[in-house]
Structures are given as structure tokens and as C-alpha cells.
């Protein structure tokens, strides 16, 4: 039938299009991982819509300051702010004037005044600053969610003793929740860093080709106040409090360094946290979530690899590396402007935000499903605690009338025997049994259990968790309450 034929043709075309896609490199940041929200915010569509909004802001402000622009022209521009003909745009080269023409094409009345007095950086740079600000807002909501989940985790396990490490060798005890607070502390600093980076952003505003505002001074026939007012009005319409008072053709690329450096430090925090999780997974004390149908290894069906934490680490290294780009770009800028910045910025700015976005989605998924194995943790403590308790045992003997030096020597000998059992025979730590068998320790046998209670080895860890969460973590999350329940979709 005719319908069948149409369907066949359609399927054929779709297959061709699909195959065509396969012939081209696609960034996995977008094709596999990034959230819709972040991809949209760095998309071509959002960029073009923002450009049109900026032209509308400019026309409105110019009108308000007395230039001959009509309400009808502005209304016309507003009615076409979002109807972008992508076919048309695709045919054009990627320059601003071409886009002015397509906008003018659908706004014949407003055509003569679109982009009046401006140059390409008016839309280019200002749009970048809006994307950076919006990008930070998206990241902050996501980071707040990760912190919230991790804070709940820290609270739940505030009292659970666990073996602490130095040199990744068993040291003293801490608690599972206290360790999570060390992770939280870095993320809390990252929230402050990202907020600061966002709030430090100013608008480029209305500055003209070399940043002197000459074209606008001409438009307003030498009226400096009006030129200043124009800059302020457009800045406010775009939702910024302040414009940079001086710019070259572009805003200073030191700004990009600040933004990407803060994201790079977020990358470092996440890398540290996920490395801890991977090390703990090796000990089988803590695991990232693992779905029933998930396959750990194609060859070893029993394996449960910490692949989400590994992904976070891999992407975090990319995020850390990206700050190298604006550092170099800023340092090689020539007077007022050169165009060797744009190709680099077009990659490094969006990639940093997309990468951070993916890392935070993944970390949210991890922190919502962290699995703790208290029995394994307890076994590791049992294995090491007798060594750690020796100081307490010596003090108990002294209290019971014994001699410190003598006791120290006894314990040293028994400890070495026990260590030999562990290391040379692969056996369990039997120090406790040796102490119990030795009549020298008879006076304190009744106290041994109490002396070896893990709860007495965790110092103020639970109290620290409580104070830290109440004073530093929870208040920080207040502004982000509205988006707290959002779920993430993770591509495994």
C-alpha cells in the first residue's frame, strides 16, 4: 500500500541519517552524559535567542534614551525573539552580521535599527557571560543536592567507628560519618567558590569596537550621561548588577580563568572523594550503588567495579586540565583584541561546564546509593584494634599497681608474635588471646572488653559531625531548597 511505501522511504531516510551521524565525531560529553539542561544552556538555540534578546534590550534602552525607535519596532522584534529559522541560520556563515540579517528579515519594520551602534562582541561576549552565569546556577543546584545527600549519609553514620588511615596504612579509628565530612568540607568550599565566581561576573555591556563607547557617543551626539545610562540599562535588563567599567573589544579573559579555575578545584575535590570511595570499595567497606542488572566485568561475573567513581575521576582530570586553556588565552591577548581567543573559548568554556555537570550528576547518583558494610568494617577494626589498644592496656596495668616499662616490654614481645602470625602465617591477629593467656595481665582481664570498645577510640568524631553539619553545611543549602528533590538520570 501507499502507506507502506511511505514508511519504507521514511525508514530508509532515517537509517541514512543515522548512518551519516556515525560518520562524524560526536562529543561524548553531549551524546552520552550531559544533562539536557546544561546542553541546552550552551546550545546554538539558546545562543541565538540570547542574541535576539540582547538586540531587544539595546533597542529598548536606546528608545528610552530618546533615539527614534518605535514601540511597533520593539513589539515586532519581541514577537520574533524565539522563532529562529534553523535552516536559514545553517546556510549562513557563523558571523554576527549574518544573524542580524536573518532577524531583520523577519522584522522588516525594525530592520533599520537592529544592532544600532553595536559590534559583534556586544552579542558575543555578553552572551558568553550570561551562559557562564546560568551555567553556575545549574551547577550550584546540583552541587547542593550532592551535599544534601552526603550530609544525610554523614549524619546516619556519624557514630559508626571505622579504621582511619595515614599513608593508607591503618592508623587510629575515625567514623564513617566523620570521613564523609572531610569530603563535604571540600564541596562546601566549592559552593562558596562557585557562588563567588558567579557573583563576581559583570556584564560586558555596551562598549563598542575597542571598548571606548565611541559609536554610542556619536549616536547620542556627545551626551556622556546617556551613553553611561545605556550601558547601565542594558546591564540591568540582562539581570546583571554591574558592567565592567572598562573593556577592550572583549571583556578581560582573566574572567574566564577565574571561572574555570573554580570548576577545576571542584574537579579536584570530586577526584579526591571518588578516589577514597574506590579505595574503600577495594576493602569492601563501602560501595557505590550497583543495580541488579548491571554487569561488572565481561570476563569476571562476580566483579562489582566502582565504575561511577572511576568515571568521575576520569572526567575530573579533564576538568582540571581545561583551566590551562584560559590561562594561555589570557596571556597571549594583544592590545584591545585579537581573534585567536574565540576558537579556544568556544571549546573550553562549554566543555568545562558540561564536564562539571556530568560529574555532579554522577556523584549525586553515587551519594544517593552508597552502600556501607558495617560487618566488614567491624572485622577490619577487630583486626587492628588490639595493637591500638596497647596504650590503654599499659595505663590500666599501671593503675592496677604495675610497672609501665615492664608492661611495655611484655606487650612489645606479644605484639611481635601476633604480627608474625598475621604477616608470616596469614593468620588473624591473636594479640588479645596472647594477653588473656599471660598471667601478668590477670589483674585487668575484667577490663579488657571495655578497653577494646571501638566507641572509646573515636574521640569527638560524632560531635564534630553534628556541629559541622548544623553550623556549616545545612545553612549553606538554604537557598537551594526548591531544587532539592530533583532526580538524575544516569547513562551507565
Ligand X SMILES: *[C@@H]1O[C@H](CO)[C@@H](O)[C@H](O)[C@H]1NC(C)=O
**Residues in the site for ligand X, rule: CB under 6 A?**
36-37, 40-41, 134, 137-138, 289, 291, 365, 368-369, 487, 490, 492
Known active-site residue 167: yes
Least gap, CB of 155 to ligand X (angstroms): 18
- What is the Cα–Cα distance from 104 to 71, expressed in whole angstroms? 16
Which residues share a beta bridge with 46?
Answer: none
> Positive or negative CA dihedral for 279, 285, 287, 293?
positive
| Least distance CB 196 / ligand X (angstroms) | 17
Q: How far is the CB of 408 from ligand X (least distance, A)?
A: 51
Which member of 27, 79, 297, 331 is catalytic? 297
| Phi, psi (degrees; rounded to nearest 5) at 81 | -60, -35
Q: Considering 167, 298, 408, 415, which one is annotated as catalytic? A: 167
Q: Name the nearest CA neighbour of 410 among 397, 428, 423.
A: 397
Q: Which lies closer to ligand X via its Cβ, residue 173 or residue 281?
A: 281
Residue with cell 586540565: 321
- Does the active-site annotation cover 380? no
Nine-digit cell at 444? 585487668
Q: Considering beta carbons, is residue 41 or 392 the nearer one to ligand X?
A: 41
Percent composition of the chain: helix, strand, coil (DSSP 3-state, to 5): 70, 5, 25
> Which CB atom, from 291 or from 485, has the smaller least distance to ligand X?
291
- The SS3 call for residue 163 is strand
**Residues for the chain: how many in total?**
492
Name the nearest CA neighbour of 464 among 157, 146, 158, 151: 158
Q: Which residue has the cell 566523620?
A: 178
Residues 426 and 439: their CA atoms lie apart, in Å, by 27
Q: Least separation, in Å, of the C-beta of 382 and ligand X?
A: 31
Cell of 469: 553539619
CB 113 within 8 A of CB 70: no
| Residue 145 contacts residue 48 (beta carbons within 8 Å) | no
Joined together, the cell numbers standing for residue 368 give 544517593
Catalytic residue annotation: 167, 297
Amino acid at each position: 500500500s501507499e502507506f507502506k511505501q511511505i514508511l519504507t522511504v521514511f525508514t530508509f531516510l532515517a537509517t541514512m541519517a543515522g548512518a551519516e551521524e556515525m560518520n562524524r565525531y560526536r562529543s561524548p560529553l553531549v551524546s552520552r552524559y550531559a544533562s539536557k539542561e546544561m546542553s541546552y544552556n550552551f546550545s546554538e538555540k539558546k545562543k541565538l535567542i540570547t542574541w535576539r534578546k540582547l538586540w531587544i534590550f539595546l533597542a529598548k534602552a536606546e528608545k528610552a534614551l530618546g533615539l527614534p525607535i518605535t514601540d511597533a519596532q520593539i513589539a515586532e522584534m519581541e514577537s520574533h525573539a524565539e522563532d529562529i529559522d534553523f535552516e536559514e541560520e545553517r546556510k549562513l556563515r557563523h558571523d554576527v552580521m549574518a544573524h542580524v540579517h536573518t532577524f531583520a528579515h523577519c522584522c522588516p519594520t525594525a530592520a533599520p535599527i537592529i544592532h544600532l551602534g553595536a559590534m559583534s562582541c556586544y552579542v558575543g561576549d555578553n552572551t558568553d557571560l550570561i551562559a557562564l552565569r546560568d551555567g553556575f546556577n545549574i551547577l550550584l543546584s546540583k552541587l547542593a543536592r550532592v551535599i544534601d545527600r552526603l550530609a544525610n549519609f554523614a549524619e546516619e553514620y556519624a557514630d559508626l567507628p571505622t579504621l582511619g588511615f595515614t599513608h593508607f596504612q591503618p592508623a587510629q579509628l575515625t567514623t564513617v560519618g566523620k570521613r564523609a565530612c572531610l569530603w563535604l568540607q571540600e564541596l562546601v568550599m566549592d559552593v562558596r567558590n562557585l557562588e563567588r565566581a558567579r557573583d563576581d561576573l559583570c556584564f560586558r555591556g555596551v562598549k563598542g569596537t575597542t571598548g571606548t563607547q565611541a559609536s554610542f557617543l556619536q549616536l547620542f551626539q556627545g551626551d556622556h550621561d546617556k551613553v553611561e545610562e545605556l550601558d547601565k540599562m542594558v546591564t540591568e535588563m540582562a539581570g546583571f548588577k554591574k558592567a565592567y567599567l572598562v573593556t577592550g573589544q572583549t571583556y578581560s579573559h582573566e574572567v574566564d580563568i577565574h571561572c574555570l579555575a573554580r570548576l577545576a578545584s571542584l574537579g579536584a575535590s570530586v577526584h579526591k572523594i571518588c578516589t577514597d570511595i574506590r579505595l574503600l570499595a577495594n576493602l569492601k567497606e563501602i560501595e557505590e550503588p550497583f543495580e541488579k542488572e548491571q554487569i561488572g566485568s565481561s570476563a569476571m561475573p562476580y566483579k562489582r567495579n566502582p565504575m561511577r567513581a572511576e568515571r568521575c575521576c576520569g572526567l575530573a582530570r579533564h576538568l582540571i586540565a581545561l583551566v590551562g586553556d584560559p590561562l594561555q588565552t589570557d596571556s597571549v591577548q594583544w592590545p584591545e583584541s585579537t581573534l585567536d581567543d574565540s576558537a579556544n573559548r568556544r571549546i573550553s568554556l562549554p566543555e568545562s561546564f558540561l564536564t562539571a555537570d556530568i560529574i555532579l550528576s554522577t556523584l549525586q547518583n553515587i551519594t544517593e546509593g552508597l552502600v556501607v558494610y558495617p560487618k566488614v568494617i567491624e572485622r577490619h577494626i577487630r583486626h587492628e584494634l588490639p595493637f591500638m589498644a596497647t596504650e590503654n592496656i599499659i595505663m590500666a596495668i599501671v593503675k592496677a599497681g604495675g610497672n609501665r616499662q615492664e608492661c611495655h616490654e611484655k606487650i612489645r614481645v606479644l605484639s611481635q608474635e601476633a604480627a608474625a602470625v598475621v604477616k608470616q602465617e596469614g593468620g588473624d591477629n591473636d594479640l588479645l588471646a596472647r594477653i588473656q593467656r599471660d598471667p601478668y595481665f590477670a589483674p585487668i582481664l575484667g577490663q579488657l572488653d571495655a578497653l577494646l570498645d571501638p566507641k572509646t577510640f573515636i574521640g569527638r568524631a560524632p560531635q564534630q559531625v553534628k556541629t559541622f553539619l548544623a553550623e556549616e553545611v545545612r545553612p549553606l543549602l538554604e537557598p537551594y531548597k526548591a531544587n532539592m528533590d530533583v532526580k538524575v538520570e544516569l547513562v551507565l
